[in-house]
Amino acid sequence: MLKLVKMSLETCRVLFIVSCLAIILLSTLGLLGPFLPLPRSAERFSELWILGPGHKAEDYPFNIRASEPQQVYVGVRNHLGASAYYALRVRLRTQGEPLPNQTTTEPSPPPSLYEFRAFVAQNDEWETPVSFEVTDVEFSAGVCVVKGLRLNGGTLPVRSVSSWDPDRRGFYHELCFELWLYNSTSGSFEYHNRFVGIWLNMTH
């Protein structure tokens, strides 16, 4: 036998108000959806890193001389939501030359000396050791000119001119790694607004 449950007028009114508020809230969330930040798991980005010779974020080469071999590791992890084709371009920059511009997504102006390329699946990573050695350097009248660089076994002609820094007491050059991403629409690589680098103090 069914029992009829009697509700007071006040209870019915409260249930009606709660139901209306729930409907309004759900409708509002639907409208605001496009403006709310994505959860972290849905973000689209690429990681880029550089590690020292011990494969840790420490003991990076710093004070170096010509003909001294050095090594670091660079890597990238893909969180773009699909497989990606990356290029990693290597430049030698001085303090007087601008960094890549994060606002305009322009790369640093010194010429690219070397390029790594890699296909990386979604949520996968690629990493490679980078061995380098300054092969030709000249010091004169407060100026240091790097003329040669060996990178992963290949010798590259360069011309990177730094002036003596009296505050930091050294001749500073930055080995910079820029991340580029292949754009299938344009059929070319575009700067991906990611870079890492290490400062090197050239010594006699």
Residue-wise pLDDT tens digits, 90-114: 999 999 999 999 899 999 999 999 9
In the predicted structure, residue 50 carries a pLDDT above the cut 60:
yes
Cα–Cα distance measured from residue 104 to residue 152, given in angstroms and rounded to the nearest whole number: 31
The 10s digit of each residue's pLDDT in 23-34 is 666 565 555 444
Taking residues 161-176, what's their average pLDDT?
A: 96
* 193: Cβ contacts below 8 Å, ≥ 6 apart: 100, 102, 105, 179
Identify the band that residue 37 occupies on the pLDDT scale cut at 50, 70 and 90: low
Q: Is the pLDDT of residue 16 over 90?
A: no
Cβ–Cβ under 8 Å, residues 190 and 171: no
Q: What does the pLDDT read at residue 43?
A: 83
Question: Could you give all domains of the chain from N- to C-terminal order, each with its CATH number?
Answer: 43-202 (2.60.40.10)
Radius of gyration of the CA atoms of the chain, in A: 28
pLDDT of residue 2: 44
CB-count burial class (<10 Å; 0-12, 13-18, 19+) for 17:
exposed
Contact (Cβ atoms closer than 8 angstroms) between residue 59 and residue 52: yes
What is the chain's mean pLDDT, rounded? 88
Q: Is the confidence at residue 44, as pLDDT, over 80?
A: yes
- pLDDT of amino acid 204: 86
Going by pLDDT thresholds of 50, 70 and 90, the confidence category of residue 75 is very high
Give the rounded percent of residues in the chain with a pLDDT score beyond 70: 79
Confidence of residue 167 (pLDDT cuts 50, 70, 90): very high
Q: What percent of the chain has pLDDT over 90?
A: 76
What pTM does this model have? 0.77
Max Cα-Cα span within the chain: 106
